[in-house]
Structure formats: C-alpha cells, structure tokens
Structure 1
Amino acid sequence: MKYQSFNEEIIRLIGGKDNIQAVVHCMTRLRFTLKDRSKAKTEELKALDGVIDVVSNNVAYQVIIGTHVSEVHAELISMLGIAPNSNEETEVNEKKNPLKAAMDLLSETMTPVIEPIIASGLLAGFLSLFSITGLISADSPTYQLLDSIRSAVFFFLPILIAMSCAKRLKASPYLAVALAATLVSSSINDVAGLSIFGIQLPQMVYANSFIPIILAVWFMGQLTVLLKKYVPKFLQYFLNPLLIMVICLPVTLLIFGPIGIWIGDGIGWFFEVLHNTFGSWIVVMLYAALQPFLIMLGAGNFMMPLALNFVNKMGYDPIFLAAATISDLAVSGAMLGYFLRAKDSKQKQLFGTVSFSALMGVTEPAIYGVFIKYRRPFVAVMIGGGIGGLFAGLMNVKTYSIVWGLMGLPSYADNQDFSNLVFMIISVVVGFVTAAIAAYILGIPQEEKEGQKKESLNENDQAKLATLKKVPLASVVEGKIVPLSEIKDQAFSTGALGKGLGIIPSDNRIVAPVSGEVSAVFPTKHAIGIKTEQGVEVLIHIGIDTVELDGKYFDTIVSQGDSVKQGQLLSTVDFAEIQTKGYDPTVIVVITNTMDYLDVVPVARENVVADDECLTVIL
C-alpha cells in the first residue's frame, strides 16, 4: 500500500481503530465520525507530514489531505476493515443514449474476457506453427491437451461473458454463471426436439455465443430488482434465487436465445453483403486507419464481439483482427519515425519507449502520451494503417483465431494457408514502414519546436517572459465577493488548500472560470476540479459542508475528463433550498497548486457578474 505508514500514523493519532466509528472522504479531506474526540491528538495530527490541516466541528472531525484523498481513503478503509459510506461513494446515474449504453456495455464486458481469449488465440497460433514445422503432431496427446485450452475458452465463452457483465446489469454473478452453464450443458446446447411447458424449442447452439447470454443476464438483473421489491425480505434469501433461475431459463430459451442468434446472423449477413457488393477491403482499410481514434474514444473493444461472431459463424474473421494488428504496427512505425527525427534525448526516449510498446500490441501509451499532444501521428497512422489495411483487404486475409499483434502472426497459417500468412506479413510491414516514413516527413510537431525555441532563451529572458504571463479566471457565479480569510471553513480560510476567494451567490448557475479539462467531479456534486493547459488546478467548492446533502439540490452536467470552455455551464444549484436546510451557500474558488506560481491575486471589487475577472494566476 502506497499510504500504509501514513494511514497507520493517522489511526494512531486519532485514537486507534476502536475510536473510529466511520470515515468517508470529501474532495480534499477525510471526514471521521469518532466515538470520543478527546482521544484524538489534533496538534500532532496537524504536524504529521502529509496532513494540511485538521478541522473539528459539529459536522465531523476532518483531516485535510489534498486532492489525492480518495487514494488515501481507499487504503484506510481497507486497513480498518470497514465499508465506505454509501452516501459518499454512490455513483451518479446518468441517462445515456441507448445505442451508446449498449456499446459501452459490450466494451466493458469484453475487457476482462480478453485475457483468456488472447491466451487461447496465441496458443492456437503457436500450435499451428509447431504443427506446420513438425515439432508437434496434430494427433499427439500433447497437442490435443494444449488445444483443449483454446477449445474450452471458446466453448464456455457464455460463462465468461456472464461473469463479466452480471454486476454491470445488477444480476448475481453466480446465478448468471449458473444460467450460462445450463445453456451450454449437453442437455440443451444444440439439442433437437426440446420443449418446455408444452412449447417446442428451436435447436440452438449456445456454446461460443455471447449475445444470448448478455440479453439473458440483462433480464436477470431486471427480474432481481423486481423480486427484491415485492418478495418479503424474510423469504428473499431462499426464494429469489429459485424464482430467478426458474423464470430466466425458459425466457432465455424461448426469447433471448433466438433473438441473440438472429442478431449474430444479421451481423454476418450485413458484412457478407458488404463484401459481395463493395469488398471487405473498405472496412479493413478504414478500421486499420481509424483504430487509434476509437481507442481514444474508449471504444477500442467494440470490434471484439464482431470478430467473435465471425469466428463462430465462418471459422475466421475477415476484417477486424487483421486490421487491429496492422493499425498497432502502424502506430509503432509512426513513433519510430518520430524517434528517428527527434534530436532531444528525452523525446527520443519517449518515442522509442512507446514505439516498442505498440510493437508488442499495447498502443495506449503512444495514443494518450504522444498522439493527443502532437496530433500529427494520427495522420501518419491513417496513411500507413490505411495502405496496409487496403492490401490485406484486397488479398482477403483471414484471422483464424481471436488474436492480434506480432505474436499472433503464426495463426494466419492455420489450415495450411501459407499464402494467407505471407499476405498478412506484407500488410503489417507495409503499414509499419509507410507510417514511419509519413511520420518522419511530417516532422517534429509544432509544440516541440516552440518548446525548443523557449529553451534557447537565456535565463534572464525566460524570467522576464514568465513575469509577463498570467492566467485570468472569470467568475464562476454572480454574487458578492468574500475574502478567503472570512470563509467559515478553516481549510479554506487559512489558505491551506491554496489562494482564492469566496462568492456569496445571487444566481443558481455555476460556470467554468477557465477553459480546460474537468479533472474531478465529486459524486455528491458539490465540488468540481478543472485543470488548464498551463497546468493551473482550479477547485470550485459549492457551499460549506454541503457534502452532507449527498447531491440533493445539485444538477451537475459535466463529467470527469470533459473539456470545457470559459463561461460554459457546469452545474445548476438550488441555493435557496441549501440555505433553507441550514447550509452556507458560499461558492469557494481556490488554486490548489498555488505554490507552483508567483502569486494568485483576487480582484479588488465587491460584486461580480458573468465574465467578470475574479482571480489572476501569475505564472
């Protein structure tokens, strides 16, 4: 544990484990409910390295840590052996577009399942290579035993999918697995002539499938919620599991099984029509060119269910897995191009490291560490990946196993299809080399050139340049300005969390004071963090002790990771109701990394309206 010794000291100074009744966390502080506050050694806690301040009031005993408090809290409750307060840890339920919600579910479900799928796919590739070279005979016991890993992973895929998606769909993972195991059992899977309640069932193959079990687990989650609502609590432990299984199995066999298979067949039919009409090369080319964008958008795993469907129906994937491998190698090539072009040793180290990572099939470091910052590598990958994907599509390259990356290349020779392997190798080399050349020609991104220009200035010039730079912050809400020293919260009034000011609001709209990225949105919606391109970290704390309201009266419309513009609406707050409940509505704005700058200067005026400058950060 990163904070184990720190937490041990906190526990000791606060009176020991037995003195702690509960502990939750706010945006910056641990909030303890103590059995006896007199046992806490407050002054020693304040002096503890890592503690900013300690505030004890009628709300809670609060130990102010900083914005990394969530990490400290996670380890602390583990050491204490107590559960986090549900009010503080409740997730915000957002309404999503149904299609986006379905895509998110598929992506999140496939992520933990990828591990055994990759293992089985790579194993299949190496077994194919060993068989071709004569190292192991396909009829030998060794080959058969190792191949059973591959066949078992895909045969029992519904069980893996059920375990992965159950909690997301509010179902019991164990009941979901039991249902999936029932579907792939020898008494149901691919058995003809079955009937239930006198209704004839179609002959269905559930092994290797994934859509029927996802639909079934979704229904199980809905049924679970319904039964908890209407079945008496003293009967739920015994009765609910029985009702869930007895109801879910026939519904799955009668409805979700056929629907899932039809959806799978429909996907296959769509791409078959596309292939016969235009050629699958279009899809292969586009996916190989655009995969980095999909990864950046969090949709990198959306192709996995489609690839699985192809392998189940056709015995190979004609599109996605080959395109993914070509794209990964194009990313590696683009980073190699920048490695060869860069002169700065730190840049060379960065580009070389992420190039090797992408070569091994892990492209996230390159995409998030380089692509987003410099942008031009996207163009290089689109060129290299697109050309490599075009060649693979035109040559009808097939992926016989669920695997991608260099380690999976042997699987392309499965079924003695050596020409398929050769075409795939050519596609990968074309994508890699073309992306490297394109990146080298595109040159060093402008951001780096500007950085080198700044480095060429002498120290005096750099100091003068720094004194001329500032970041102005507009008001987050209309109202009356209050000096930070007058805020009725010691953590803020002492400046422990950084310099800033308070605003007594006269409007219900909270807007962004600067442009930047939303670095944090607390689950109870009372605090929002924004980080600017210059690195300024802004904390907007709405009201004092309003964490206790658990999000009530707050309508926050941004999420962590969102990009916002200055003046953009962040949240709507019913301040009248907050005051009615006895809470101070003052909105506090502080720069949490104040020490990184020359100064943070509040504006010298009494009232502010929208777009008025209220703070200035001197860089």
Structure 2
Amino acid sequence: MAKYSDLVSFIVNNIGGKDNVISVSHCMTRLRFKLKDYSLVDEKNIISNSKITTAQKAGGEYQVVVGTSVESIYTELIASLGLKNEESQTEEKDKSVLNKIIQIITKSITPILGVLMAAGLIQGLLALLVACGALETTDGAYIILSAMGSALFTFFPIFLGYTSAKAFQMDGFVGMAIGACLVFPTILTSLTAGDPLFILFANSILETPVYKTFFGIPIIFPTTGYTSTVVPIIVSMYFTSKFEKFLKKHIPDIVAFTLVPFITIAVCVPLTILAIGPIANILSLLITAAITYLNNLSPIITSLVVGIIYQPLVILGLHWPLITIGITNMGAMGYDYIIPMIFTASFTQTAVVLAVYCKTKDKKVKNICIPAMISGCFCIIEPAIYGVTLPVKKRFAFSIIGATVGAVIISIFSARMYAVSVGVLGTVAFINPNGDMGGFFVAIVATIISMVVAFLLTFIFFNEQNSGISLIADKKQSPHSIIASPFKGKTIKLENVEDALFSKGVLGKGIAILPSEGRVIAPCDGIVTSLFPTGHAIAITSDDGCDILIHVGIDTVRLNGKYFTKKVQQGATVKKGDVLVEFDIEGITNEGYSLVSPIIILNSDNYFDIVETMNENVDYFDQLIRVISKENEVAYKLAED
C-alpha cells in the first residue's frame, strides 16, 4: 500500500468521487481541484481529518491544504485518478533539449543499474576463476556463470525497451517486444546471410552490407546486430511513444486493448529496423569514432579531460552519456576504455572523506564520514560529495586531481575493462577473458596512487574552520536571528492577506509585502530547499535552521510560470542578497492577480516568538523578521531589558 493511499482515498471520496474531478494541480502546500460539481464536497468532513490543515473553495478551485508533503500526496493522487501530472509537464517546458536527453538516458539506465553492476561483477569473477585455473571454459559451472553474466548484455535492448518506454510514458511491454525483435536469436544470421546485394559506405567505419530487403526497401542491419546497444532502442521508444499516443486518441476504448499494441508493434518494429536503428547506430558509431580518434591521438589528453569533467558532471546529472558510450563500446568491441578513466573517482572521494575523518574533531562530521566512506567503496559517491567534499570546494578539487592522476595512469598502460563494474570489486572487470591480468594490477596501482594523492592533499590542507554543511546545525545561535526583506515594497500584516491559508497563520507566522520591484532576493544565507516549477514560490532553510517560505502573489500558481524567471535551482546554496526569482509586475497584475506576497516562517512552532517589522515600507536587506529561539528565550528577554 502506498504511503498516502488512505489520505488520497479520503480526499477523493469527500470531494465527490473520482468522476467529479476535472483536473488537479498543487502548489507548495495545497492540492487544487477543478470539480464538475462543488456542491458534492463534504468540507466539514475534510477539515475534520487531522492530516488536513484546512480546505476552501477559492479562485474557481477547491483547495485542500495538506502541508509540505503535498508533492508526494499529489503523485499518489494523480495515479489514483489516472490523470496527467500537470506540474511535470510545466517543468518539462523549462528544460533544454540536452537536459531532456540526459533525463531520458538517466531514467532508462538507472532502474537496471544494480543488475548491470551485478552482471559485470559476475563476468569479472568468472574471468578471475579462469585466470586462477579454478574453472575451464568447458565446465558446466563456467557455462552457467557465463550465462548469468552475459544475459543482460545480450538482451540489453529488451530491458531498455521496458525502462525507456516507461520514461516516455508508454506501454513498457510494447517496448520489451520491440527490443526483443532487435535481438531475436535468428534475426542477425537471417538478415546477414549469403552474398550482399550491395554495400553502403564502403571502406569507411560505417561500412554496411545489405543482404535483404523489406518489400523492396533495403534492410540496413549492422553486422554485429543490436546486442548490448543503448541508443537505437531509446530513440525508437521516443518515436513509438508518439505513435502509441496518437493511436490511443483515435482508436475506441472498446478495441484499444488489442489494436493499439498490435498496430504499434506492426508499424514500429519495421520502422525501427529500417530507419531508426540504422540512423541511431550510425550516430553512435560516429560518437564512438570521435572518442576513439581522440584516444588514439592521445590517450593521456582523453584521460585528462574525462578525469577532470566526470565528477562535476555527476553533480549536474550529466555523466550518463559517458557511461552510455562505455556500454556501447563494450557491446561493439568487447571492452571499453572510457569507464576505466572514471574508475578511480569513487575511491578518491572516499580518500578525501577519510582524510577529513582523521583530521576533524567534530563528532557530527565524523558521523557523516563513516557512511559516506562505506557508500564510496561501492561507487555511491553522492553522500561523500554533498555531505563532505562539495561544501568545501577545495576538497572536491582534491578528489578531481586524484581521480585524474588515476585516469592518466590507467590510460598510459592501456588498461581496459571487459565488463561494466565499479567499486571495490570492480577491479576484476579489468581481467581479460583470455586470462591476462595486466589490467587488473594496473587498476589496483592506479587506484592506490589516486587515493594517496587525494588523501594527502586533503590531510595537508585541512582547515577545521571551514568544515562544511554538517556544522550548520552547530552554529552558535544569537538571542535572535534576523530575516532580511526579500522584496522592496509596502508591508502588510499577515491577517490582512486575502487568503485564509496565510491570514489565519495555518502555515506559520510572518508578514506580507506588496512589491514595487520584480525581484526576489535571498533573505539570509542558506539552502533552497524547495523551488516550485512555476517559480512563484520558494522555500529556504537558513544556516541556523529557520524554514522560510516566500510566496510571490496570491494564486499565481495558476499562471503556470508565465511572467516568472527562476535564477537558482532547488538545492542551491545561496548567500544573503542572491537573486532567487525575477517576475513581471505589470504582466501579473494585468492578468488580474494580487501581488501581495507572504513571507512565512514555516517552522514557527519551533521558536519562542516571531517578531515582524513595524515599518510601513521596506527595501532589500532591511530587517523584516526577528526569529527568537526557545533556547535563547531568557537571553532574548535579558537583551530586551
């Protein structure tokens, strides 16, 4: 059962049922329903639920306030109602083509990453057993273990057919069927048997013989087939998803269950084999050829580039193309030289964290270091990055330096990986299936050297005074903290705001401002903990733990991001005065929306008092709110006296 299924069912039942819902969206704390008949709502019963803060009809919508868990509740709600996620659609509009491509690759590969690593480890261990003489290639154990390690890669398009179909929001089993056609056991030999009719791109890296036709259309089928390929099936699913959605719109529901998958497969399999597959395969070959050329020109330069950019790409979520190229190389050549260049990165992160653990005297930092090191050993470096290294940027730089040294060593000695595997057991992937263990020893030496470099740099230049985000909670609080004004404009008491959610203090205490300039700045140093896709609302957690909500205007969520420009991303660390959002005052007011903007302390209950400014007008950086902690209540009273 889903986490919020009971609450979702309760809400749906009390707003008139599923059939009464036209659409639903959400903002920072409330679900917003458009209903067919608002008289069917049992508001008294809704408000009686302890998990619901309040509910009201406003602005032509029925609003149910559920608090900061709204996004998770909304996700379950739209799944229950069978509706589309309007917020994700809005967010998609803001993304560049590159970001969309990266997102699709990530969504397609991430679900099977664990199995991918497992298969790689099995292949590596099998190579180790053969190298040690424990197994012969004719042994039954070898045959079974080989199947365990190779099955995923052999039928990779089937797995990716499902995951990429889900990424494009279409039938995953149709995706599997199309992927299965690409790697059907006899298709390669049947389409590449006999003498070729003619040859395309002769005497080039794209040389492709044509053996058969499809009703007169030449079948350009790669001589290596589509086993282990990544790009062709993902590109195919993009076009297939468009076609499937078209069919669903035009085929009656009574026959859609059978006809939609039938027509989709009947049209898209030939389309994939005749056009999409060859084009995608050619593009993959060109990319691989470019990297191969650079690597042949200078493996050291290639390793320097990859070593330097990989860890920053991890932060940006842009590292998947490198992994994809590595997997493609593995399928085409049986080995790869890209993934080896990033192999030591997780170990250098671990080495930096180890150095911090050895040097720091702060127990909280040590407690963060331990799980980060354990995760790093298995190539899960996000805890190390976000908890220890990135907050102190020189540590992150030391990790990059160490990893680059390791990448260069691996490239100099041409160590290759024969399976996709990382972490402490990943070294076995450097063992050549023919038993050559040279790459294995190179990988170990390179890993040790890279870790030593990263460790020593961090150890020598360690500074306890700049120990990272983990110390935020330990900062000594003053009797009161100051929240500056994020706007320039006229102040308005919260109780005068024309929205009960704010005026009744449901979300917390605070103040409102009618801005005279279309700019929101950070009212303090802190982290952007929530940024709504439309840009109309932003939440910041200050360095001393104060949760601040800045809501630009009333009901401006319904503008769907129009007139708003986000200047930061969710999760960003900001300094007081950094511009967070820009907005068009004239455009918003012309649309008929109020620009009265509440500034709320969401965790007001954690404090002794919230004191708002008495000034009628404020400018940027002016004191807007004083937050007095309960622990400092006595100190505050003494200071006031």
**TM-score higher than 0.5:** yes
Quote the sequence identity (%). Answer: 26
Q: How far apart are the structure 2 equivalents of 1:614 and 1:586?
A: 18
Say if 2:326 is the partner of 1:307.
Answer: yes
**Residue deviations 1:1-50, cap 9 Å, x none?**
79669949x949x97997996686542245687876668357854xx4x6
* Corresponding residue number in structure 2 for 1:342: 360
TM-score (normalised: structure 2): 0.81
Amino acid at match of 1:132: A
Q: Distance in 2 between matches of 1:335 and 1:501?
A: 42
Instruction: Tell me, yes or no, if structure 1 residue 568 matches structure 2 residue 582.
Output: no
Aligned to 1:54: 54
1:495 pairs with one of 496, 505, 510: 505
Give per-residue Cα distances to partners, 1:548-607, cap 9 Å, x unaligned. Answer: x362755443553356673636253577777766x6553222222334556544343444
Q: Give 1:587-598 correspondences, 5 Å limit.
A: 587-596=597-606
| Contact persistence 1:19–1:36 (CA under 8 A) | no
- Per the alignment, residue 474 of structure 1 pairs with 486
Whole-angstrom CA distance in 1 between matches of 2:460 and 2:144: 50
Shift of 1:317: 1.0
Query: What SS does structure 1 have at the residue aligned with 2:570?
Result: coil
User: Partner residue of 1:266?
Assistant: 286
C-alpha contact (below 8 Å) 2:307/2:342 kept by paired residues: yes
The answer to whether residue 241 in structure 2 is matched with residue 216 in structure 1 is: no
Question: In structure 1, how many angstroms separate the alpha carbons of the residues matched to 2:253 and 2:289?
Answer: 48
| Distance in 2 of aligned mates of 1:130 and 1:5 | 49
2:200 matched residue in structure 1? none
Alignment of 1:239-388 (within 5 A): 239-278=259-298, 280-320=299-339, 322-388=340-406
Alignment check: 8 A CA contact 1:479 1:503 kept: yes
Deviation of the 1:608 alpha carbon: 5.2
1:377 offset after TM fit, Å? Answer: 1.8
Give runs of aligned pairs for residues 397-436 of structure 1, distance below 5 A: 397-414=415-432, 415-436=434-455
Kept in 1, the 8 Å contact 2:392–2:468? The answer is no
Residues 327-362 of structure 1: per-residue CA shift (max 9 Å, x gap): 111111111111111223332232233122212221
CA contact (8 A) 2:15 2:42 kept: no
Distance 1:38 1:129, change over 3 A: closer
Per-residue deviation, residues 45-104 of structure 1 (Å, max 9, x unmatched): 4xx4x66x43445667755443233335556788xx545685567543324443443333
Q: Which residue does the alignment assign to 1:141?
A: 140
1:30 and 1:73 in contact (8 A); partners too: yes
Query: How far 1:483 sits from its partner (Å)?
Result: 0.9
Alpha-carbon distance in 2 for matches of 1:177, 1:102: 21
Residue 484 in 1 paired to residue 485 in 2? Answer: no
CA distance, structure 1, for counterparts of residue 162 and residue 28 of structure 2: 33
Aligned equivalents of 2:469 and 2:232: distance in 1?
54
Aligned counterparts of 2:74 and 2:390: Cα–Cα separation in 1: 32
**3-state SS of the aligned residue for 1:474?**
coil
Give the Cα–Cα distance (whole angstroms) in 1 for the partners of residues 421 and 95 of structure 2. Answer: 31
CA–CA separation in structure 2 for the residues paired with 1:596 and 1:66: 16
After superposition, residues 71-110 of structure 1 pair within 5 angstroms as 71-72=72-73, 82-83=81-82, 91-110=90-109
Contact 1:388 1:430 in 2 (8 A): yes
**Distance in 2 (alpha carbons) for counterparts of 1:95 and 1:442:** 41
Q: 1:615 aligns with which of 621, 624, 629?
A: 624
| CA-based RMSD | 3.9
**Does the aligned pair in 1 maintain the 2:236–2:272 contact within 8 Å?**
yes
Bigger shift: residues 593-602 or 310-319:
593-602
Residue by residue over 1:229-250, the C-alpha shift from the partner in whole angstroms, topping out at 9 and shown as x without a partner, is 6667777655544443333233
Q: In the alignment, is residue 68 of structure 1 matched against residue 88 of structure 2?
A: no
- Residue of 435, 439, 454 corresponding to 2:458: 439
CA separation in 2, counterparts of 1:386 and 1:410?
21
Q: Is the 8 A contact 2:329 2:335 kept in 1?
A: yes
With over 3 angstroms needed to count, the CA separation of the structure-2 counterparts of 1:532 and 1:575, relative to structure 1, is: farther
**1: CA distance between counterparts of 2:264 and 2:548?**
49
Q: Is 2:116 aligned against 1:117?
A: yes
Aligned partner letter, 2:547: E
1:484 and 1:470 map into 2 onto residues whose CA distance is 18
Match of 1:197 among 215, 223, 226: 215
Deviation at 1:130, TM superposition (A): 2.0
| Inter-partner Cα distance in structure 2 for 1:174 and 1:103 | 23
Q: What is the CA deviation profile of residues 91-147 of structure 1, one whole-angstrom value per residue up to 9, with x for unaligned ones?
A: 433244434433333233221232221111001111122223333332112221221
Cα deviation, residue 318, structure 1: 1.8
Q: CA deviation at 1:181?
A: 1.2
Counterpart contact for 2:55–2:64, Cα < 8 Å: yes
The yes-or-no answer on 1:188 pairing with 2:207 is no
Within 2, Cα distance between the matches of 1:249 and 1:6?
42
Q: Which ranges of structure 2 fall in alignment gaps of 5 or more residues? A: 193-210, 629-641
Q: Does the C-alpha gap of structure 1 residues 221 and 15 become closer, same or farther in structure 2, counting only changes over 3 Å?
A: closer
Aligned counterpart in structure 1 of residue 550 of structure 2, from 536, 540, 550: 540
Paired positions, count: 597
8 Å Cα contact 1:359/1:406 also seen in 2: yes
Helix, strand or coil for the counterpart of 2:550? strand
Q: Are residues 493 and 16 of structure 1, via their aligned partners in 2, closer, same or farther at CA, if it must alter by over 3 Å?
A: closer
**Counterpart amino acid of residue 380 in structure 1:** F
Alignment CA distance shift 1:2-1:247 (3 Å): closer
Q: Distance in 2 between matches of 1:158 and 1:436?
A: 41
SS at match of 1:405: coil
C-alpha distance in 2 between matches for 1:355 and 1:105 = 30
Which position in structure 2 is the counterpart of 1:40?
Answer: 44
Structure 1 residue identity aligned to 2:28: M
In the superposition, relative to structure 1, how do residues 41 and 104 fare at CA in structure 2: closer, same or farther (>3 Å)?
closer
CA offset digits 1:389-444 (Å, max 9, x no partner): 22211111111111111112223223211222111111111112222222111113
Contact 2:102 2:320 in 1 (8 A): no
